[in-house]
Amino acid sequence: MQAGTDKGGHTGPTARQDPSLPQVFGRYLLVQRLSRGGMGEIFLAKHGLAGFEKLAVIKKVLPHLAADAQFISRFVDEAQVAIKLQHVNVAQVFEVGRVGDEYFLALEYVEGRDLRRTLALLAHRRTRLPVDLALFIGRELANGLAYAHRRTSQDGSSLNLVHCDISPPNVLVSFEGETKVIDFGIAKSALRGTATDPKMGFGKFGYMAPEQLIRGGLVDHRTDIYAAGVVLYELLTGMRLYEAGPEPDYRALAKKVAKGDHPMPGECDRSLALYDDLVATALRPRSEDRYQSAAEFRDAIQQALVNVNPTISTDQLGSYMRDLFSEEMTGQKELHDRVAKTHLADFQEQMHTATISTVSFAMAQLPLQAPPEAPRARPVPLGRTTGQSKALPAASIPAASMDDLALADGTGTSVREQPPEKSRKVLVLGVFASLAVIAVVAVAMTRGKGETEKVAVADPAAGSAKKITFEPIEPPQTLASPPPAKKEPAVAQVETREGDVKDPPPVKVVTKKKDPPRRVTDPLKKEPPKTTTTTLTREAVGAKFSATSRQYEAYKAKNGMQLDREWNELTSYIQYKMNADTLDDAVRRIDAFRAKLRE
């Protein structure tokens, strides 16, 4: 049970400038030290590619915890599960890794304040949150818990995720009105790692369910529902559920928690009595008597919210947060200006060296679009002598036989037909040669000596040479193809003027040089025109992304944050997944997002 001092640095006011910063840390550039807590130091950092850099929060694990092998093993295992959570109400964990001997977490940067600072400021001003905003934050908190609790593994079994540390420092509200749970799945490691910390105080004790205080108690997702009920009570009333006093008696307080001895919202303000049952059900001492799921708790809050403000949205909450912290906006702007003046390009060489030495235990599995259907290869006939054809698998088809053009139905690449076998070519040529020889013999046998022969008269200038001309004769239509056996060239006898029968020179069959095999194409199908491909570069993709960023800012100013989740997915992909091999995919994603902007 620690006071939770390591949480406020996520979004707190600007801290004193550290002269050792900016400093390269793995693939990140640490820009500002935010705070130091029970688990480690917290920094604001920049990362990404030049031109579209993004902010992140880096949590370094303290050296004495990093030296504990069991703590690090638990920490890495739990973070690898938490890194799979991607939801609008859960702060994203980007990376779990190690740089040198330092273990770290890279988390989503949320520009806003946590509930501890928010409630403290309201108490200082002697006011409390409007009821509709308090219910709205409680609903969003329950919605994030419902998502995490229902997450399953690849085989469909439940991951049994339990936060175990739902409390105001672990709930952030951005200046845009978003509510996010932080450190999901990681808080358990932090609490166990600091179990013997003498600075442990009442900060988390007041949010622990009875089963957490009883030795051997069963902790499950309903434990988080209890803690969320405590947070909802404090949002509505602006007061702590259990007041410890200057010298708290933890044993006596634990008994009160186990008995369910706590005040109701209506006792603080009669106008809040409408929400007594809502809070009391979440705070039942026996877990089986509470809401049995965070989704059930969320829906109960929603029913109460509809009666107060059915059209409430993040816009109203964001406007309230900006007004509440208006005095801190100047420091926030100074921080942004300082961060903007720090460029990754100035540290490119150092970052390249540090990135190589970085060990990543897990990185966020970003949501990807459905992969295209695997290319289907057209069956390639191996021969027609058996009357069968076999399809070669795509992996076994030589590169030379692949066609880069897409098929007409868009199913993938087409496969060139295999060239005909040489024996078939020889057979066809032999058939035509045999037909020609038989035609010559037929002419010679059907002519008599007395018939007028169509013989070319020798040119006097040509001497005694005789030129022979034959009338073209169509080959019989039903003539069967003779077997491709070798035959002696037939000789036609031709009659000369003197009546002597002489053997003319043999008829030679001249075979043309074989043409290279051509791809057999379907005449009914038109091949798509060949397109020239241009080589993409990081600079070109970066320029396109920057232009899209400007378009989205204009869209966001006009239509609100409807596409904020899709934008975050796109920027996360560009920063973490894009490399020289995925530039085409990056362009495709940018174009898809642009299409949504035009809808």
Paired with 53 in beta bridges are 48
Q: Is 57 helix (H, G, I), strand (E, B) or coil?
A: strand
Closest CA to 5 of 166, 181, 141, 203: 203
Sign of CA dihedral 181, 186, 189, 190: negative
Paired with 55 in beta bridges are 46
- Is 249 an active-site residue? no
- 109 and 56 in contact (C-beta within 8 Å)? yes
Sign of CA dihedral 388, 393, 396, 400: positive
DSSP conformational letter for 390? B
Q: Which residues contact 118 (CB under 8 A, 6 or more apart)?
A: 129, 168, 173, 321, 324
**Residue carrying structure tokens 């200006």:** 337
Q: How far apart are CA 39 and CA 7, in angstroms?
A: 10
- 141 and 230 in contact (C-beta within 8 Å)? no
Catalytic residue among 6, 114, 165, 224: 165
Closest CA to 129 of 204, 233, 241, 13: 233
Other CB atoms within a 10 A radius of the CB of residue 256 amount to 13
User: According to DSSP H, which parts of 83-130 are helical?
Assistant: 115-124
Closest CA to 229 of 281, 270, 273, 180: 281
Q: Residue 477 phi/psi, 5° resolution?
A: -70, -30
Other CB atoms within a 10 A radius of the CB of residue 23 amount to 16
Q: How far apart are CA 47 and CA 53, in angstroms?
A: 6
Burial class (CB in 10 A: 0-12, 13-18, 19+), 135: buried
Closest CA to 348 of 44, 51, 42: 51
**Residue carrying structure tokens 């060139």:** 416
Paired with 413 in beta bridges are 406
Q: How far apart are CA 167 and CA 187, in angstroms?
A: 11
Q: Is 523 helix (H, G, I), strand (E, B) or coil?
A: coil
Q: How far is CA 222 from the centre of its chain?
A: 32
- 275 and 265 in contact (C-beta within 8 Å)? yes
Dihedral angle at the C-alpha atoms of 91, 94, 98, 104, nearest 10 degrees?
-20
User: According to DSSP H, which parts of 39-130 are helical?
Assistant: 63-66, 69-82, 115-124
- ∠ CA(389), CA(394), CA(395), 5° rounding? 125
Active site residues: 165
